[in-house]
Amino acid sequence: MLNFDETRYLRIQDAAVAVAERLGETVHTLRADGLRNVYFLGAGGAGVLMIPAVQLLQRRAQVEAYLENAAEIVTVGSERLGTGSLAVVPSLSGTTAEALAVARYAKECGGTVLALVGDASAPLADVADIVFEVPAADDTSSESFYVQSLGLALSILRDEGRCAEYDHIIADLRRLPQALVAAKEAFEPMARRVAETIAADGYHIITGAGPLWTQAWYYGTCILEEMQWIRTRPIHASDFFHGTLELVEKNVSVIVLAGPDATRPLAERVLAWAPTVSDAVTLLDVAAFELPGVSPTTRDLIPHVVAAALLERVSAHLEVIRDHPLTTRRYYRRLAY
């Protein structure tokens, strides 16, 4: 595979699964101490990556779960954030200004701050009460944060008696890193073609539903826009028909992410209509890739993890085709803003 270090990848993803397991003891202690609610308070892409875990808790758990914009909650405040609150702050660098500010704010309110970082010596780790470290980089952080936050959500559900299949899912997650490598290998030829399609146009509508909506948003905004300077319009598959469809013309690129979970019909609705107008519709069907040793129950929980792993292959080809390294920035962390 192009520019891919399998050993490094497996080390990072195995570490993320290990954190997902270790979170169980932390959650049990916090609930015994009177956990009232959980706030996910990431900034930028790291915050967005928490959405699937938040939704899992909101739909299945007894404890209240909130996703807040880090900078905004510091500005406007929250009456519910305080004693008995767990504030989850993900930041790969551990130096993001908004993440540091919201961690300090949560502590001032009386909450317990749990940091998910790539470097335990970073400033955020000094502020946090609980720190979990998985050294990673931008090309591997999506899967890592997805799995860590899933582990946290599953631990809460298990501790509430609402996840009888917890041990089975964790066993599946242990097998997932190697399964993702196999999926990447199978996807490599298509990854090149998708990268060529993206490179050929300066604007793309990218859509998905359920957990894949999160990955659509993240890939469009944090990879194509930030790292490749390609304009995108991320849109939830159901919202596609409430405005965005009017932007579709014959040559407008529409990229659809679809998975095996219950939200697949929402993506299929876009797939049924978009090709009647555009001849530039691209499907990334996560359900088409085998994950040896991973049960259907777990697969339904992780379509975004699989999509992130596959799209990394697209990014690897894209930076070569466009001669634009993913690390190149004009403004981000280059200027004061």
For the chain, list the domains and their CATH numbers. 6-164 (3.40.50.10490), 176-321 (3.40.50.10490)
Q: Where are the alpha helices (H) located in the chain, listed in sequence order?
A: 6-32, 44-48, 51-60, 70-76, 97-108, 123-127, 141-159, 166-199, 211-218, 226-228, 264-273, 296-301, 303-321
Question: What's the token pair of residue 334?
Answer: 């280059």
pLDDT at 137: 87
**Low-confidence residues of the chain, pLDDT below 50?**
none
- CA triple 20-93-209, angle to 5 deg: 55
pLDDT at 308: 98
Phi, psi for 231 (deg, rounded to 5): -75, 135
Question: What's the token pair of residue 150?
Answer: 């899933």
pLDDT at 49: 98
pLDDT at 160: 98
